Structure 1
Amino acid sequence: MIALLTGKIAYKSLDHVIVDVGGVGYRVTVPLSTFYQLPDEGPVQLQIHTNVKEDAISLYGFLTTAEKEMFALLLSVSGVGPKLAVNILSNIPAADLRSALGQGDIRRLSAVPGIGKKTAERLTLELKDKVEKLAAWPTAGHSAPPAQSDTSGFEDALSALVNLGYKDTQARKVLESLEFAPSAGLEEILKGALKVLMK
């Protein structure tokens, strides 16, 4: 079972990275919370959750232990698979998710695409006590890195939001309503859009 990968980023996209470890490339699915903080290239160390199925072995990567712990907790809930767990962490940072679950914030949870009111209620019911037992997590260091110039940032952000489950028209409307500098990068645009969509 793979629990940690240390290597260099050979490829980076919105939903996964390829980590080169001694000449072997591992495809690792990551939530947006991790994507925001990854360098475009160079050394990286990811906490890994290995998901084994009959027909595939999938790796899910996180920069922090907090994200990995929350991912594992989400998977313990009936009806929540890896794809939905990654989607939840892409929309709500681990520390905020812990707070939302602990406080029973159904509205915040059900704002995530793919989670209805019943699923949100089940999440809080099953995880409220469990998140309170987790070790304290640092809240600093969750900000996105400085944005880089990217003229296709709008289209990339739109594609990312649609992949997260938001409707094209809804995502486009929110993106068009936001004001960003011409040099705004994908991370900055995405974070701004998700703040509006999660209200």
Structure 2
Amino acid sequence: MNFFKKLRNYMLYIVLLLILVIEIPIIVVGYLTQPVKSDTIIVLGAKILGQDPSLMLRLRLDEAIKLYEAGYAPTIIVSGAQGPDESISEAASMKAYLLNHGIPAERILLEDQSFNTYQNLANSHKIMQINSLRTAVIVSNASHIRRSLLLAQNLGIQATGSPAPMASSPYLTTKQYVREGAAIAVLFLTGK
């Protein structure tokens, strides 16, 4: 019985350590990161519903619109492929949303080949290079900013972040932070 009590205590310590080492930096970076004027804004894709952005994606797009209108960058790269359950690419949905909110078509660059954050950033980086864009503001939800900035750094992208708000649902917010904690652990192990 004493063995199981010790094992339980060790497991509790490991969980607490993981929270301190992984989750707290995700939360802190997600809320304290500030954008810097750059050559472009990269909006990372998320689920679409039909042809419309989901709530999380609308929050990202609204943040990008604010940045664009405030003069943080003259172009916006929208990044995301078409998933198996989506009727169009995430990038196409994002472009339509931006157009409907007054962003000129010539200011929107489409990246519609990526299925995850690493690909979003790697493919967006290629678009940046083709268009002589050297710096970027990465827009995603607060829980996703730290990993996005770490991946950008690994890919050689000079970037700052601009966290979009999280959904107002405590369940969805908790789910996103737990998911990002696992993704950060994988990033530390694999580099992607």
TM-score (ref. length: structure 1) = 0.29
Q: Name which one, 1 or 2, has greater alpha-carbon Rg.
A: 2
TM-score (norm 2): 0.29
Structure scoring higher RCO (CA < 8 A, sep ≥ 6) equals 2
